[in-house]
Chain A
């Protein structure tokens, strides 16, 4: 049931909005009746949730399954030092209600998957994508396209950010801009590549602005334009994003008919057994049987120090230089965080003549999830 007026307390709280002629009480009422789903409460999700709560968005949904970790605090400003070890949802919900006790906060402590995405997304007016990996981005994007929901997109890498609004009115969708994902390993994640802590602040606040514009109808949303922000050079540029009739909402012959397996779509797993892959379960049984093998961890030292499986640390960019430390006989299992970098390492080493390498499917993340949940999350 929609609210038809603001209370006296709300008129006081939102006075600075209400006196904006473009906004007025009508705009504030639209926020109160509006709902936003924030997928991910990390770097982008933090400023998003804080500002949307402060602005008076009536209902805020949060999707996350992560725990607050010390290394998050450099940028995920909704989480405090005292929250380390708490779930991100619990931490974020507490802050949102502290800022705005009348906000309705709905939490989904789960990974967004093809099986649950449509049911979660359909209850919201606007979806904001604050995730950190390609499979989930394609999942959010396709689910929004199927449901016809606006998708406020932001992504970050090192010192650069991208922002746009997909699926708004007749605008393009994510796939119109990025028809296919990069092969695994080619684009490093923030965990490998690093990210300037304030960068998700800038990008998340731009996303929050767009979400508010869509809910209230004030201004012109960033539809059909991709904003490129570079913090190092301090440049903002926009380029055009065109609608491709194959992929946009309402396409006559849509390519996106339903949700798929996005891990597979992004090349993170393949059909059937792959000759040079080993699952975490197999590796565990090898350990239990006392089979002899060498484990090589190709992540970065800081990741290794946080949690490791006792492998030999040889970061990806040093594997060729340090070949002498990798045996050419016996079995060598190569492992990284989720399996992308180790795949790259294996390809380089194969080119250098190795034929005794196995990739640990799913990496240490799969090990922590499926074999040893007592380990810290990688």
Chain B
């Protein structure tokens, strides 16, 4: 099971869970399983079946855009972090 770390902005959609254990052998599989378990998170992460451009997905400390994207393999006990763009400053 990989662990998905949920940013606070999305936690109200995961019943306030900060970490969700999700099965899957690639980033795409894990996130689709996450979306199946928490459909509201799915809407935030996916658009027309693809990961939204402004949502950054990291496996460990690497951006999947510089790995193999959704096909990036995920090992057991690996951490996947969702990092949405935020703009606040005032």
Contacts and interface: CB of A to CB of B under 8 A. Distances in A.
B8 A160 contact: yes
Interface string B77-90: 00001011111111
Contacts of B86: 155-157, 160, 162, 187
A133 B8 contact: no
Interface string A161-201: 01000000000000001111110001111100101000010
Q: Which 5 pairs from chain A and chain B are nearest by CB?
A: A42-B90, A132-B90, A157-B86, A180-B53, A190-B88
Given A178-B54, A180-B53, A239-B58, A158 B8 contact: yes
A160 B10 CA distance: 12
A241 interface: yes
A125 to B, nearest CB: 21
B2 to A, nearest CB: 16
A129 B89 contact: yes
Nearest to A242: B66
Contact of B63 (A157, A181, A241): A241
Contact of B85 (A181, A195, A228): A181
B82 to A, nearest CB: 11
Interface of B: 7-9, 18, 44, 52-54, 56, 58, 61-63, 65-66, 81, 83-90
Interface residues of A, number: 47
Nearest to B56: A177
Given A182-B54, A226-B83, A242-B63, A159 B8 contact: yes
Given A157-B8, A178-B54, A233-B18, A239 B81 contact: yes
Interface of A: 40, 42-45, 72, 76, 129-134, 137, 154-160, 162, 177-182, 186-190, 193, 195, 200, 226, 228, 230, 232-233, 237-242
A133 B9 contact: no
Contacts of A237: 61, 81
Nearest to B86: A157
Contacts of A182: 52, 54, 84-85
B85 A134 contact: yes
Given A239-B58, A242-B63, A178 B85 contact: yes
A43 B58 CA distance: 28
Contacts of A181: 54, 85
Given A178-B56, A239-B63, A158 B87 contact: no
B55 to A, nearest CB: 8
